[in-house]
Amino acid sequence: MKRLVLASGSPRRKELLEQVNLQFEIIVSRFEEHHSQSVPPSELVKQLAFGKANDVLTNASDAIVLGADTVVTLDHDVLGKPESRQHARQMLKALSGRKHIVYSGVVILSSEQRSQFYEATEVEFWDLRDADIENYLDTGEPFDKAGGYGIQGFGAAFVKRIHGDYYSVVGLPISKTLRELEAFGIFPEIQR
């Protein structure tokens, strides 16, 4: 059986891989992310995903390594993870009542093969009241999430509609990822 390694400490990506019965291990990448506004978001997420996967592959050369990265963009500006409560508040106010694009990039690497792709999903928020934002900030959920919200958590209450892959907004477009992993000989374990 081929060894699959997730180059991420993201609990959401871990849960998605477990949800589809993939056998994998986790080695958290030490790659330092830098968000450049001069690189298109579709390229940025692939570059960051590659950096993470390649970092782990150098120490796990016998493995197939999966790296991923997700960014939220509003008016072509990348919104990273909020640095403070005030920063998260500003992000959520900026997203209120508007559409934004979430990009997730995926890179799968082995010593012989490479696959990379991205998904872009449009998300529209309801108009948010100040009380909604403050209550959400009190949950602590926004602080480790790109754009300051998690669609899979309480942040779902802000989402009016999405157009595209829901799981890409969570952090890993799992359906496309599974199809790409097949080329590496990685398949879900089906328990009968």
Dump pLDDT digits (tens) for 66-95. Answer: 999 999 999 989 998 999 999 999 999 999
Three-class secondary structure of residue 158 per DSSP: helix
Mean pLDDT in residue range 148-171:
96
What pLDDT was estimated at residue 82?
95
Catalytic amino acids? 69
Tens-digit pLDDT profile for residues 129-142: 999 999 999 999 99
The CATH number linked to 47 is 3.90.950.10
Three-class secondary structure of residue 119 per DSSP: strand
Q: Which segments of the chain does DSSP mark as H helices, in order?
A: 11-19, 41-57, 85-95, 130-139, 166-170, 174-182
Report the amino acid identity of residue 123: V
User: Is 147 part of any domain?
Assistant: yes
Mean pLDDT in residue range 31-35:
78
Tens-digit pLDDT profile for residues 49-71: 999 999 999 999 999 999 999 99
User: Is 19 part of any domain?
Assistant: yes
What pLDDT was estimated at residue 68?
97
Domain that holds residue 52: 4-182
User: Is 61 part of any domain?
Assistant: yes
Residue-averaged pLDDT of the chain = 94
What pLDDT was estimated at residue 186?
95
User: Is 191 part of any domain?
Assistant: no
DSSP letter assigned to residue 157: G
E strands present in 97-189: 99-109, 114-125, 159-163
From CA 48, how far away is CA 70, in angstroms rounded? 9
